Amino acid sequence: MVNKSGTQSLTDQLAQRFAQRIRDRLLGPGARLPSVRQCAQQQGLSPSTVVGAYDQLLAQGLVEARNKRGFFVRELRTTALSPSAAIRADALRPEWAPLSAAALIRGMFQHSNGKAHPSMGVLPPDWLQTTFLSAAVRRHSSAAALNSFSLQYGEPQGDTSLRQALAQQMETLAIGVAPSQIITTLGATHALDIVSRTLLRAGDYVMVEEPGWAVEFARLEALGMRILPVPRRADGPDLDVMARYCQAHSPKLFVSVSVLHNPTGFCLSPSAAHQTLQLAQQHDFHIVEDDTYCHLAAPHATRLCALDNLKRTIYVSGFAKILAPNWRVGFLAAPPELVERLLDTKLLSTLTTPALLERAMASCIDQGQLRRHAERVRSRLGVARSRSVAQARAHGIRFASEPAGLFGWVDTGVDTDALAHRMLDEGYLLAPGALFHAVRAPSQLMRINFAITQEPTFWQVLCKVRDTM
């Protein structure tokens, strides 16, 4: 809500709030602003104050007024619509604009109101604070050390010491891999992008889990891929749906989060893993196993790559969820026959990756500091999850899947796209359920971060806003 005791006028505050949401794409082109009366009621302001704010947005060129239809975020079109077509298009637009994956990411980077967003994809910064990270960087930042590798391009596949450490770490997951099969990347998302650009061409069919992460859907669509959503169940993907896709479309790839699936927290069962690998063998497609949450899960959890021993599978992971989100250190491990092709794609996109951070990360792994840190985080997360679940249930919120890992998949009972826009007024950025579907549709579900939703305040505000919808 606007600050009625502040020195800035209410009109200016409201105009700036809408302007910032438009610039952050939380209100997308073509979105209809609330009516003057509706906005005045929601914000507890007079209609004249809202009119003044909307006039400022008009003057800034951020919105346009359409006769008898309201105020709309300006949309630049290369081809003008006829008046009748424009009216039909306006009639189909809701009072809110669905949040895009890019808008959610932009919002997650902003903490101007001092509140941690319940939709955050990483742990709170204070959970990740360590002394060993900075010590590892200092150890590899002497003049002699820097001169040995910083004045030239690094190793194409990534720093040898890190690849050796990663190979040993993967052995604890029962995945046998040689350092020569590992390529370091700028985070796990970069690894996924390398795989897609290497194995796929525009127009190829790709199977993805649904619900799943919107960034992956958007990334594949931007590359021109045809997405085939596979319902994700508690024990794994819907194998019947996968089989039908294989018969009808001959997909080239399946992207899966086997362990602590985002957003449901589901983990793959051995039976489902075995049948998924049989389908891949029978229909000749590769599987990308995104194990981004591996440090938050038990090592013995079922992984496709462990059963397949990197024949049709490609393993992807990183350290953003457990250690250093901004270091952007990730990696992939692939069948030997794919390594050179994947490496060529990496070199064309980034040349090499930062050896200083990779060597520091290798030290943290070799000395057991990462393992001990992960154990502490898992213990702390277990406590936070119990508190968050208790708060949610005390406020009448139901979980759509058994709580596990970092994220909760909750049922609010209302359209969470609309709820997300209302919660922005309270300073909270939500991750509505529609974001997690390849084809967006209204959803009552949303994803929460257990580490950030332990206190009752968020749930009290959520229920207050929900009950007014």
Question: What's the pLDDT band for 104 if we cut at 50, 70, 90?
Answer: low
Going by C-alpha positions, the residue among 180, 158, 156 that lies closest to residue 167 is 180
pLDDT at res. 78: 36
Of residues 421 and 383, which shows the higher confidence score? Answer: 383
pLDDT at res. 112: 47
Q: Which domain holds residue 60?
A: 10-92
Interacting residues of 332 by C-beta distance below 8 A, sequence separation 6+: 182, 183, 185, 191, 194, 195, 314, 315, 316, 342
Question: What's the pLDDT band for 1 if we cut at 50, 70, 90?
Answer: low
Question: What's the pLDDT band for 117 if we cut at 50, 70, 90?
Answer: confident
Residue 137 within a domain: no
Phi-psi region of 299 (alpha: psi -120 to 50; beta: other; left: phi over 0): alpha
pLDDT at res. 297: 94
* Whether 429 and 457 share a structural domain: yes
**Angstrom distances, CA of residue 52 to CA of 8, 106, 338, 344, 345:** 14, 28, 61, 56, 53
* Whether 404 and 261 share a structural domain: no
Structural domain ending residue among the three candidates 367, 384, 403: 367
CATH number of the domain at 395, please. Answer: 3.90.1150.10
CATH number of the domain at 281, please. Answer: 3.40.640.10
Q: How far apart are CA 269 and CA 202, in angstroms?
A: 32
Q: What is the mean pLDDT of residues 51-57?
A: 90
pLDDT at res. 177: 97
Q: What is the mean pLDDT of residues 274-301?
A: 96
pLDDT at res. 425: 82
Q: What is the mean pLDDT of residues 459-466?
A: 94
pLDDT at 84 over 60: no
* Whether 65 and 162 share a structural domain: no
Phi-psi region of 297 (alpha: psi -120 to 50; beta: other; left: phi over 0): beta
Q: Label the pairing between strands 330-333 and 182-185.
A: antiparallel
pLDDT at res. 114: 59
pLDDT at 138 over 80: yes
Residue 24 within a domain: yes
The continuous run of DSSP H or E covering 420 comes out as helix 416-424
Highest mean pLDDT among 86-95, 301-310, 422-431: 301-310
pLDDT at 96 over 80: no
Q: Which range among 55-59, 84-88, 182-186, 228-232 shows the weakest confidence by mean pLDDT?
A: 84-88
Number of structural domains, the chain? Answer: 3
Q: What is the pLDDT of residues 38-51, one digit of tens each?
A: 888 888 899 999 99
Q: Is the dihedral of CA 429, 435, 436, 441 positive or negative?
A: positive
Going by C-alpha positions, the residue among 214, 188, 259 that lies closest to residue 108 is 214
Q: What is the mean pLDDT of residues 395-409?
A: 96
Interacting residues of 24 by C-beta distance below 8 A, sequence separation 6+: 103, 106, 107, 110
* Whether 462 and 330 share a structural domain: no
Q: What is the mean pLDDT of residues 398-422?
A: 94
Say if residues 428 and 459 touch (Cβ distance below 8 Å): no
Q: What is the pLDDT of residues 296-318, one digit of tens each?
A: 998 899 999 999 999 999 999 99
Structure-token match 């950030």, residue found: 452
CATH number of the domain at 87, please. Answer: 1.10.10.10
Q: How far apart are CA 4 and CA 228, in angstroms?
A: 50
**Angstrom distances, CA of residue 24 to CA of 14, 73, 109, 384:** 16, 12, 11, 30
pLDDT at 18 over 90: no
Q: What is the mean pLDDT of residues 220-239?
A: 96
Q: Which range among 37-41, 109-113, 120-124, 195-199 shows the weakest confidence by mean pLDDT?
A: 109-113
Question: What's the pLDDT band for 95 if we cut at 50, 70, 90?
Answer: very low
* Whether 380 and 335 share a structural domain: no
Q: How far apart are CA 287 and CA 173, in angstroms?
A: 18
- Name the average pLDDT for the chain: 88
Q: Which range among 19-28, 169-178, 181-190 shows the weakest confidence by mean pLDDT?
A: 19-28
DSSP 8-state assignment for residue 180? G
| Amino acid code (one letter) for 133 | L
Residue 61 within a domain: yes
* Whether 312 and 383 share a structural domain: no
Phi, psi of 212 (to 5 degrees): -155, -175
* Whether 285 and 380 share a structural domain: no
Q: How far apart are CA 227 and CA 200, in angstroms?
A: 12
* Whether 73 and 106 share a structural domain: no
Q: How far apart are CA 264 and CA 281, in angstroms?
A: 27
pLDDT at 10 over 60: yes
Residue 436 within a domain: yes
pLDDT at 196 over 90: yes
Q: Label the pairing between strands 313-318 and 286-290.
A: parallel
pLDDT at res. 110: 56
Q: Report the predicted TM-score, pTM, of the whole model to 2 decimal places.
A: 0.83
pLDDT at 463 over 50: yes
Residue 142 within a domain: no
Q: How far apart are CA 255 and CA 245, in angstroms?
A: 14
pLDDT at res. 360: 93
* Whether 189 and 310 share a structural domain: yes
Structural domain ending residue among the three candidates 304, 337, 367: 367
pLDDT at res. 108: 58
Residue 377 within a domain: yes
* Whether 343 and 379 share a structural domain: no
Share of the chain above pLDDT 70, in %: 90
* Whether 165 and 293 share a structural domain: yes
Q: Is the dihedral of CA 14, 16, 22, 26 positive or negative?
A: negative
pLDDT at 246 over 80: yes
pLDDT at 420 over 70: yes
Tokens representing 237? Answer: 């993907």
pLDDT at res. 79: 37
Q: Which range among 66-75, 93-102, 272-281, 401-410 shows the weakest confidence by mean pLDDT?
A: 93-102
pLDDT at res. 105: 62
Residue 70 within a domain: yes
Q: What is the mean pLDDT of residues 339-366?
A: 94
* Whether 451 and 345 share a structural domain: no
Residue 136 within a domain: no
Structural domain ending residue among the three candidates 367, 391, 425: 367
DSSP 8-state assignment for residue 32? B
pLDDT at 77 over 90: no
